[in-house]
A = this chain, B = another copy of it.
Amino acid sequence: MRKLLITTLALSAVASLVTAAEPLPSWNDSAPKKAIIEFVEKVTEEGSPDFVPPEERIAVFDNDGTLWPENPVPFQLAYALDTLKKDVEKKPELKKEPMVAAALEGDFEKLLAGPHHEGLLKILALTHAGMTTTEFDQSVKDWFATAEHPRFKQHYDQLTYQPMQEVLAYLRANGFKTFIVSGGGADFMRVWSERVYGIVPQQVVGSNTRTKYELRPSGPVLIKTMDQLFVDDKAGKPVGIHEFIGRRPIACFGNSDGDKEMLEYTTIDNSRPSFGLIVHHTDAVREYAYDAHPKSSGKLVKALKEAPKRGWSVVDMKNDWKQVFSTPPAE
């Protein structure tokens, strides 16, 4: 216990140093950086009318397009396609399935057709269900250790945005709890969220389905199914926040119309001070430039239009960020 206490003291000292240094060094001194710092200073100043106690300092972050890229396709889709290719090598008869064929041909329009995106669900069922959670975790780990981003030629998990890593660290140093709230699969993200973002599994909210518990001779397992699918996107994000966090956030970071409802839920009619921010992809040279017509996900029209009215900060990636990636790619 004495050692734990010393560790706690040491961590407090580190936290103090982190905040003593200039926060957000990869951000230019433009409006979004100023707005983040002003908000954090306001809610952490004891005695101030805007003070928010630490247990209520909940910050939520979208992942794809907010903490790392979603181009040329969201990384989980790249995982699904690579896994599908490996599965087809082992079981060539899978190719007879029209949706598998569409996926292998990159025909995303076909996969996303229909009110419930039946094709995509089929691919997810093939690559994300029917195995134990342990088997799935291992498969995701193996993929991240080997797969490379087609443009940046790095492992996918090396491509986090340095300015956003700094926001995560800055908020945590100021007593915030940081959560991911993403349309991505919770099981997929929890494999690497702690290593990549310092976010523990219980602070990752994502899309999910039910698992099924079995006590096998080898021990307890949970089998992944496609039952009771929950899509943590758009109006599903406030639902996911309520279900998993059970408290309204006071800070929300997103990048697309998929984050609009979560931004609303955080900032409109909140009894506490609140903050919303949108990462606008404006940098085709260092990353990508898109909003109204993205090639895959990440459409940003409605939320961008709402931003001035709602007081949400909008990051112009090209002009507000000194550096984009945590590990600059050798492009």
Contacts and interface: CB of A to CB of B under 8 A. Distances in A.
A219 interface: yes
A265 B55 contact: no
**How big is chain A's contact interface, by range?**
35 or more
Interface in A176-231: 177, 186-187, 190, 194, 200-204, 208, 210-213, 215, 218-220, 222, 228, 230
A116 B269 CA distance: 39
Contact of A246 (B190, B212, B220, B269): B190
Given A215-B261, A264-B220, A269-B218, A1 B247 contact: no
Contacts of A93: none
A242 B12 contact: no
Nearest to A15: B5
A238 B132 CA distance: 13
B202 A244 contact: yes
A133 interface: yes
Say how many copies of this protein the assembly contains.
Answer: 2
Given A200-B55, A220-B268, A16 B9 contact: no
A76 interface: no
Which of A12, A175, A204, A228 is most buried by chain B, counting CB atoms within 10 A of its CB?
A12
A239 interface: yes
A235 interface: yes
A177 B201 CA distance: 13
A294 to B, nearest CB: 24
A151 interface: no
A19 interface: yes
Interface string A1-13: 1011100110010
A44 interface: yes
A215 B264 contact: yes
Given A220-B264, A228-B230, A269-B218, A242 B174 contact: no
Given A186-B246, A210-B239, A211-B242, 13 more contacts: A1-B19, A4-B44, A186-B243, A187-B246, A201-B246, A212-B239, A213-B235, A219-B269, A220-B238, A220-B261, A220-B268, A220-B269, A222-B238
20 contacts: A1-B173, A3-B46, A4-B46, A5-B15, A5-B16, A8-B12, A8-B15, A9-B9, A55-B194, A186-B246, A201-B246, A202-B247, A211-B242, A215-B261, A219-B268, A219-B269, A220-B268, A222-B238, A222-B239, A244-B244
